[in-house]
Amino acid sequence: MADFQTSTHKAKWILTHQQLVDKYKVANQNAIQTLEKYGATLMEVDADGSLSYPEPQVNAKDNADKHSRPKPLNIEEEQFMRVFYENKLQEVCNNFHFPHKIQATALIYFKRFYLLWSVMQHHPKNIMLTCIYAACKIEENHVSAEELGKGISQDHQMILNYEMIIYQSLEFDLIVYAPYRSVEGFINVMEEFCGDNDDQLLVLKNLHEAAKMEVDKIMLTDAPLIFPPGQLALAALRSSNEVHRVVDFERYSRSILSRQNSEHAISKLVESLNEIDSWVRRYKFPSEKDLKHINRKLKSCWGLSSHDESKKREKKSKHKSRKSSNETENMA
Amino acid sequence: MGDGSSATGGNRGLTGGNSNNNTSGSSNKPQWLQQYDLIGKIGEGTYGLVFLARTKSPANRGKSIAIKKFKQSKDGDGVSPTAIREIMLLREISHENVVKLVNVHINHVDMSLYLAFDYAEHDLYEIIRHHRDKVNQNINPYTVKSLLWQLLNGLNYLHSNWIIHRDLKPSNILVMGEGEEQGVVKIADFGLARIYQAPLKPLSENGVVVTIWYRAPELLLGAKHYTSAVDMWAVGCIFAELLTLKPLFQGAEVKATPNPFQVDQLDKIFKVLGHPTLEKWPTLANLPHWQQDIQRIQGHKYDNHGLHGFVHLSPKSLAYDLLSKMLEYDPRKRITAAQALEHEYFRMEPLPGRNALVPSQGEKVVNYPTRPVDTTTDFEGTASLQPTQPVSSGNAVSGNMQGAHGVTGRSVPRPMLGMQRMQPQGMTAYNLTSQAGMGSGMNPGGIPMQRGVTAQAHQQQQLRRKDPGMGMSGYPPQQKPRRM
């Protein structure tokens, strides 16, 4: 559907910065509450796609003294974890030679999922793989879960278990608009704008490639949750153009705005583009040391700190009663 | 999309519903199911089953809802791609002449999806059949024109949103029964629909589409890339069928291989429209089957009998002019939905109206039969001849259905011909609270038993598919009138 204007993407999934901050806060709080209540945070997903809470851990509950309880991740640490796995997601997609569109769709699914949940509640590795699987299904590039699992030596059953939870968390809003196609459109307009001698076309082709790489970077930030794909594309083109110097960007932007009869004043647009740029500049990949630290914390939150204990949990979970995902929702 | 969960409202309710707890024991039904009284099964197809139900909530009490249950896709494939695609498209679109999704429910027991739509009492398949077999009289011109106009109106919306339906046929064109929306057309069944802007693969890789009688010649000849024009061909076929009450091109399908190349179907088309020529259709030469099968297709000589004779229209009439533009061989020259809506035919008396079934004055109103309902089938798709024991069987629906409607489990199912469609939808606001549930509360006996039941139902469907009467056509074979 070409019409972003009437899409669920526009209506429901373009947030203000404050909304984004609030959502992350709520997700973090929910995980912390679960930790306080159950001594662990990791939700269990059964083969039928239903969710259940962690089994209350006896020592955590009885001597609930603050020292023995695992320390929850803070919002920044959660962010790092997502960043790490979003990079992994791009890696996996590249290894499978999936088209950009699939990668972008999977990334957007991943980001939307973690607006609702904390990485403490759902292992980002599982979510990442399931998002890729779902994106392939939606973009008509079907890959079986088995094939996907094999390619990265992961158990594919886990992907199937998570699939429904992902769709639910995304509220079945599965059509997403990635900036790559918008970039293409803008490049086409530039062709008209620049005239079409062969030199120009080559230069434009280089600009196009550079802009795609720039979009790849933008897609790793939270900007896709805040800005529409057209603006993300323009921001990518603008920063690529600063290197390649193909067009007078301001003149070009003005011509686009007049074409689209948009209510956006040019200054408003520039402001958005600047913000997108700053998301890219502020992007931070966690250091090795950070990762180690966060991973250790995460494992204890998940209740997987010791091998024995995790085995025990597995056994127990077979007997315990299942709770509906709705109840988890009430917590979330 | 209007379901109240805006960006700020957040994701509340998305995993909504609940199976309450597994200890209550008072009711065996998942909560989402408790919103409905199940009436019975009204259709089935390769995708799964369609049920008629009524809502119990005070706001909409008694409102008829069609619930489409998708069977689980084959093992290891996860959630049915057809179901997911239909949901994702329906989530994005909203138009008076297109079905609208009211609700999505998840049955965790077998990981199947249930889509809830507003119920439409009629469809073009049944309307045509009623006129042909019962009334013995053509559909009145006002109704034909109104149905066609609304179908084009919905299709124009889809095409301008870059969606090709790909499976238009009379049974997928629903018409609302009594009520505020009486006589309004709803295009249904988006299981094969695709977005066609920049697909990652050529569309032909999505397998064979469109019931063969309504399949466009470029598809029959193996086109790799095709466009919204395939839907317009199908509309042309449907238009002719509304006029004559008979399918226009009734080819016999070769079912051995899932091959889009159907010689008999092409034969039927050529007999009516004459042979396509490179002058009229320049890109014909590039189509794989045209090249590969030179002898069989190109060797035949067909006389052009004239389409007008088959549809009993004067070649000078506006209806004929529009029809022939829909049945243009070259997809690039074929009339678009937008152009068709502007056609002079729709500006002449009788003018098309919103209630297609009730002409404004004078003419007598045809009372179309209501949809047959098989009251012996429960939501699992299994016949329940014995009222099931809710607790022990875990069968959520049958007990309620019999209690609420006094339907005995032993009633004989009425024959249901050509039931392979889904029901529609309406003006209700989106309420996409997908309801999880059915956890252990519904099935204390454990999951394996339920799975067994599903597998069985699945098998039955496979068997049915092989039955020619349940095949793509929906018409019993013996009813095929051969005119040529």
Statement to judge: residues B129 and B246 lie in one domain: yes
How many degrees, rounded to 5, is the angle at CA B415 between CA B410 and CA B418?
Answer: 140
Chain A, window 117-136: residues with a beta carbon less than 8 angstroms from a chain B beta carbon: 133
The whole-number pLDDT of residue B457 equals: 35
Provide the 3-class DSSP secondary structure of residue A189. Answer: helix
Contact (CB<8Å) B18/A324: yes
Whether residues B418 and B308 share a domain: the answer is no
Mutate to test the interface with B, among A24, A45, A171 (most CBs of B within 10 A): A171
Q: Identify the bridge partners of residue B164 per DSSP, sorted by sequence position.
A: B194
Our CA angle for A267, A269, A273, nearest 5°, is: 115
> Which candidate in A20, A182, A325, A330 is best for mutational testing of the B interface (most B CBs within 10 A)?
A325
Contact A138 B206 (CB under 8 A): no
**What is the pLDDT, as a whole number, of residue A256?**
77
Instruction: Quick: pLDDT tens for B111-133.
Output: 788 999 999 999 999 999 999 99
Q: Is B167 a catalytic residue?
A: yes
Tell me what the pLDDT averaged over chain A comes to.
Answer: 84
The whole-angstrom separation of Cα B123 and Cα B298 is 38
State whether B310 and B393 are in the same domain. Answer: no
* Phi, psi (degrees; rounded to nearest 5) at A230: -60, -40
- Kindly give, in sequence order, each residue whose CB lies less than 8 Å from that of residue B468, ignoring residues fewer than 6 positions away: B477
For the beta carbon of residue A236, count every other beta carbon within 10 angstroms.
29
User: Do B331 and B211 have their domain in common?
Assistant: yes
- Give the residue with greater pLDDT, A190 vs B2: A190
Respond yes or no on whether the N-terminal peptide bond of residue B282 is cis (omega within 30° of 0): no
Is residue B279 in some structural domain? Answer: yes
Q: What is the mean pLDDT of residues A291-313?
A: 72
CATH class of A179-282: mainly alpha
pLDDT at B288 over 90: no
Rounded CA gap, A283 and A275, in Å?
Answer: 12
User: Same domain for B385 and B336?
Assistant: no
CB neighbour burial string for B435-467, b if at least 16 within 10 angstroms, e if fewer: bbbbbbbbbeeebeebeebbeebbeebeeeeee
Tokens of B447: 């999951």
* A61: number of Cβ within 10 Å: 13
| Identical fold, A9-175+288-331 and A179-282 | yes
Number of alpha carbons in the 13 Å side-chain half-sphere of residue A262: 17
Summarised one tens digit per residue, pLDDT across range A152-179 is: 878 888 898 899 999 999 999 999 999 9
Q: Which of B329, B352, B367 is the last residue of a domain?
A: B367
Residue A188 has pLDDT above 50, yes or no: yes
Dihedral of alpha carbons B395, B79, B63, B167, sign: negative
Higher pLDDT, B276 or B145: B145
- For chain B, the maximum distance between any two Cα atoms, rounded to a whole number of angstroms, is 74
For residue B338, pLDDT over 60 is answered with: yes
HSE, side-chain direction, 13 A CA sphere, residue B249: 32
Cα of B1 to nearest chain A Cα, Å: 6
Average pLDDT, chain B: 72
Domain with B75 in it: what CATH number?
Answer: 3.30.200.20
* A156: helix, strand or coil: helix
From B37, B123, B167, B378, active-site residue: B167
CATH number of the domain residue B222 falls in: 1.10.510.10
B69 is in an annotated binding site: yes
| Pair B283, B140 in one domain | yes
Give the β-pairing of A44-45 and A51-52. antiparallel
Residue B234 in domain: yes
B25 part of a folded domain: no
Tens digit of each residue's pLDDT (9 = 90 or more) over B208-230: 555 789 999 998 888 877 789 99
Chain A residues inside the 8 Å CB shell of B434 = 167-168, 171-172
Q: Where are the alpha helices (DSSP H) in A97-197?
A: 100-116, 124-138, 145-151, 156-169, 179-194
Maximum distance among all alpha carbons in chain A? Answer: 77
Tokens, residue A4: 């972003």
Condensed to tens digits (0 to 9), the pLDDT of residues B163-217 reads 999 889 999 999 999 989 999 999 999 877 777 765 445 555 555 555 789 999 9
More confident residue, B413 or B271: B271
Q: Distance (Å) from the C-alpha of residue A293 to the closest C-alpha of chain B?
A: 31
The answer to whether position B272 is within a domain reads yes
Percent of chain A beyond pLDDT 70?
A: 84
Q: What residues does each domain of chain A span?
A: 9-175+288-331, 179-282
Residues B390 and B440 in one domain: yes
Judgement on whether residues B188 and B285 belong to the same structural domain of the protein: yes
Compute the 3-state secondary structure of chain A and give helix, strand, coil in percent, each to the nearest 5: 70, 0, 30
Determine the Cα–Cα distance for residues B283 and B313; give it in Å rounded to an integer: 30
Number of domains in chain B: 2
Q: Considering the domain boundaries, does residue B19 fall inside one?
A: no
Token representation of residue B435: 């309801």
Q: Which residues contact B454 (CB under 8 A, 6 or more apart)?
A: B71, B72, B110, B112, B380, B381
pLDDT tens sequence across A231-289: 999 999 999 999 888 888 888 887 777 766 555 578 888 999 999 999 999 999 999 99
Residue B270 lies in a domain: yes
Closest chain A residue by Cα to residue B87: A172
A-chain residues near B87 (CB < 8 A): 172, 174
Nearest to A112 by CA among A55, A192, A190, A175: A175
Among A258-262, A309-313, B308-312, whose mean pLDDT is lowest? Answer: A309-313
Please check whether residues B362 and B406 belong to one and the same domain.
Answer: no
- Structure token digits, residue B154: 């919905």
Please indicate whether, in this complex, the C-beta atoms of B16 and A326 are within 8 angstroms of each other: yes
Out of A279-283, B47-51, B199-203, B298-302, least confident range: B199-203
> Residue B8 pLDDT more than 70?
no
Residue pair A149/A262 in contact (Cβ under 8 Å)? The answer is no
Q: Virtual CA dihedral for A8, A12, A14, A18, nearest 10 degrees?
A: 180
**How is domain A9-175+288-331 classified at the CATH fold level?**
Cyclin A; domain 1 (1.10.472)
pLDDT surpassing 50 at residue B82: yes
Residue B291 lies inside a defined structural domain of this protein: yes
Q: Specify whether B87 is located in the same domain as B128.
A: no
Residue where one domain finishes, among candidates B367, B382, B401: B367
Mean pLDDT of A33-42: 86
Does any domain span residue B484?
A: no
Look-up of token digits 């977005």: B195
Three-point CA angle B175, B180, B182, nearest 5°: 25
Do B249 and B313 reside in the same domain of the chain? yes
Residue position matching structure tokens 């939808």: B425
B336, B351, B367 - which closes a domain: B367
Are B145 and B133 members of one domain? yes
SS3 content of chain B, % helix, strand, coil (to 5): 35, 10, 55
**0.90 surpassed by complex ipTM:** no
- Beta bridge partners, B163, equal B195
Closest Cα in chain B, distance from residue A9 (Å): 9
Residue found under tokens 């013995």: B136
| Structural domain harbouring B336 | 122-367
Give me the residue label for tokens 């067009």.
A247
**pLDDT for position B341:** 98
More confident residue, B149 or A99: B149
> Is A3 within 8 Å of B14 when comparing Cβ atoms?
no
Is residue B5 over pLDDT 50?
Answer: no
